[in-house]
Structure 1
Amino acid sequence: MNNQNKPEIMTIDDQNFGSHVEHWSLLTDNPTTEVPKWLGQALDAPVMPMGLCEQECDMDEKVWLIQGPENSAIKLAQVIAVEDGKPKAVKTAFPIFDSPYSVNATIERIITCESNTQAVLALQLSPNSTVYAFDSLYAVNHTQYQKDQTYKVQFSAWAYELEKVSDQEQIIVDDPASIKHHRALNDILFEHNGVTPDNLQELIEAWEPKSEDDKAPVTVDFSKMVAYLYGETIGQEDEAWFQGKVVGKTQMQFMQQDYTVYDVTLILEENQPATLIRITTKNEAFKNFEIGQYIRGNIWIQANVYCQDK
Structure 2
Amino acid sequence: MAINYQYKNIQAPTKVTLTDEQTAGHADHWRILTDDMSHDVPQWLQQMIEKAAMPKGLNGNVSSKDNRILLSEDQPCHINQVLAMKDGKPECFINAYPCVNGPYGLNCRIERVIVNENTHDAVLRLRTTDGSIIYAFDQLYTANQHLYQQNTPYFVNFSAWAHEITNSEQNEVIMVEDVEAIRYHRAFNDIVAANDGKVPNDLQEQIKDWQPTTKEQMEPVEINLGDMCAYLFGDTLGQEDEAWCQGQVLGKQETLFNGKPIILFDVVILREQDTTPFVVRMGAMSTAGTKAIQVNDYVQANIWLQAAIYKENQTAVPSED
TM-score between the two structures when normalised by the length of structure 2: 0.81
Counting only pairs closer than 5 Å after superposition, residues 72-221 of structure 1 correspond to structure 2 as 72-115=75-118, 117-174=120-177, 180=180, 183=183, 194=199, 217-221=220-224
SS at the partner of 1:287?
Answer: helix
CA offsets, 1:28-61, max 9 Å, x none? 110111100110010011111121112247x993
Q: In structure 1, how many angstroms separate the alpha carbons of the residues matched to 2:90 and 2:300?
A: 41
> Contact 2:130–2:275 (CA<8 Å) still a contact in 1?
no
Post-superposition shift, 1:4? 4.8
Q: Aligned pair in 2 of structure 1 residues 13, 163: CA closer, same or farther (>3 Å)? A: same
Which letter does structure 2 place at the counterpart of 1:255? N
The match for 2:46 among 14, 32, 40 is 40
How big is the alpha-carbon RMSD for the aligned residues of Structure 1 and Structure 2? 3.2
CA offsets, 1:175-226, max 9 Å, x none? x5xx6467558758969x74899xx9xx9xxx9x989989865432213211
Q: In structure 2, how many angstroms separate the alpha carbons of the residues matched to 1:167 and 1:144?
A: 45
1:61 correspondence with 2:66: yes
**Number of residue equivalences:** 297
Q: In structure 2, how many angstroms separate the alpha carbons of the residues matched to 1:196 and 1:113?
A: 46
The match for 2:291 among 276, 287, 301 is 287
> Contact 2:229–2:271 (CA<8 Å) still a contact in 1?
yes
- Structure 1 residue aligned with 2:319: none
Q: In structure 2, how many angstroms separate the alpha carbons of the residues matched to 1:122 and 1:61?
A: 26
> Contact 2:137–2:241 (CA<8 Å) still a contact in 1?
yes
SS at the partner of 2:309?
Answer: strand
Q: Which runs of 5+ in 1 are unaligned?
A: none
> Contact 2:176–2:182 (CA<8 Å) still a contact in 1?
no
Post-superposition shift, 1:100? 1.8
Post-superposition shift, 1:90? 1.4
Q: Aligned pair in 2 of structure 1 residues 75, 171: CA closer, same or farther (>3 Å)? A: same
Which letter does structure 1 place at the counterpart of 2:292? N
Q: In structure 2, how many angstroms separate the alpha carbons of the residues matched to 1:291 and 1:10?
A: 39
1:5 correspondence with 2:28: no
Q: In structure 2, how many angstroms separate the alpha carbons of the residues matched to 1:151 and 1:255?
A: 31
Identity over aligned pairs, percent: 33
Q: In structure 2, how many angstroms separate the alpha carbons of the residues matched to 1:41 and 1:225?
A: 42
TM-score between the two structures when normalised by the length of structure 1: 0.84
Moved more, 31-40 or 145-154: 145-154
> Contact 1:104–1:153 (CA<8 Å) still a contact in 2?
yes
- Structure 1 residue aligned with 2:304: 300
Post-superposition shift, 1:7? 1.2
Post-superposition shift, 1:258? 1.0
Post-superposition shift, 1:275? 1.9
Moved more, 86-95 or 48-57: 48-57
Q: Aligned pair in 2 of structure 1 residues 186, 149: CA closer, same or farther (>3 Å)? A: farther
